[in-house]
């Protein structure tokens, strides 16, 4: 894209009454995290277990073999030593300066908040929130990291992540907040997601705004509906789009 297009979009975004950024795993890959569906993504790695990694992220597998689920989860899903990258930082800087940006994320890594964003809706939950399946006592991440095997509550119940696994419904409050954010957005920026994960990808149906921008290295099913499409590095594009 030319600098003129970036400049024009920057003005549109700054002058919009509300902007929604909807992001997926590709937002965090520059921080060292794996995405899921790309050629180098988690689901294309050879599994160390008797199930694919995609299957292991299901509620059925969690209930069937909780111990092995946690072996996998600790190795591949708990990455609390990574830092926000330029995409997270650009979004936070823009939000703090213009106050018209809301973030709806499919990620569970908390990197938007660590980068300084405040208005974040996590439709798939967070690795930092966990709870007992018996008494619903809440726990932080350390109880998962420091436990061996299946983490247990003081009441004896199994502790599970407050993360939406395949086969589970999304948190109803987060879903409604996300739907309202999409519906009220004048500008929608979609980044780092294949738009193949449902029901989260259905959120785009609630958008009624004026300018749809998609940033993803690979094509998405909604590219033809977008006003602008960038198949480039998301951090570099966001820095230019949101330049203050």
Average pLDDT, the chain: 95
Q: What percent of the chain clears pLDDT 70, i.e. is strictly above it?
A: 99
Tens digits of per-residue pLDDT, 67-80?
Answer: 999 999 999 999 88
| pLDDT one-digit tens code per residue, 126-157 | 999 999 999 999 999 999 999 999 999 999 99
Confidence of residue 244 (pLDDT cuts 50, 70, 90): low
What phi and psi values does residue 120 have, to the nearest 5 degrees?
Answer: -120, 130
Q: Which residues contact 39 (CB under 8 A, 6 or more apart)?
A: none
Residues forming beta bridges with residue 131, ordered by sequence position: 138, 160
Closest C-alpha among 132, 142, 90 to residue 111:
90
Burial of 113-150, coded b for 16+ CB within 10 Å and e otherwise, reads bbbebeebbbbbbbbbbbbbeeeeeebebeebeeeeee
Which H or E run includes 159?
A: strand 159-163
> pLDDT, tens digit, for every residue of 24-34?
999 999 999 98
More confident of the two residues 30 and 1:
30
Token code pair at residue 7: 């400049």
Catalytic residues, by residue number, are 124
């Amino acid at each position: 894209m030319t600098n003129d297009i970036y400049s024009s979009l920057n003005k549109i975004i700054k002058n919009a009454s509300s902007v929604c950024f909807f992001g997926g795993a590709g937002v965090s890959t520059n921080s060292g995290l794996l995405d899921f569906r790309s050629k180098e993504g988690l689901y294309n790695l050879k599994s160390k277990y008797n199930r694919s990694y995609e299957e292991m992220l299901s509620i059925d597998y969690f209930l069937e073999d909780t111990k092995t689920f946690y072996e996998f989860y600790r190795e591949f899903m708990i990455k609390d030593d990574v830092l926000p990258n330029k995409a997270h930082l650009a979004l936070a800087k823009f939000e703090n300066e213009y106050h018209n940006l809301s973030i709806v994320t499919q990620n569970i890594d908390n990197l938007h908040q660590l980068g300084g964003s405040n208005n974040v809706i996590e439709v798939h939950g967070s690795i930092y929130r966990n709870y007992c399946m018996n008494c619903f006592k809440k726990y932080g991440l350390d109880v998962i990291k420091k436990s061996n095997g299946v983490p247990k509550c003081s009441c004896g119940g199994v502790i599970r992540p407050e993360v939406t696994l395949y086969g589970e419904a999304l948190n109803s409050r987060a879903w409604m907040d996300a739907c309202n954010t999409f519906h009220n957005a004048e500008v929608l920026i979609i980044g780092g997601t294949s738009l193949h994960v449902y029901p989260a990808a259905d959120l785009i149906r609630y958008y009624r705004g004026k300018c749809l921008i998609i940033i993803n290295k690979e094509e998405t099913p909604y590219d033809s509906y977008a006003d602008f499409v960038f198949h480039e590095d998301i951090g570099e594009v966001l820095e230019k789009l949101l330049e203050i």
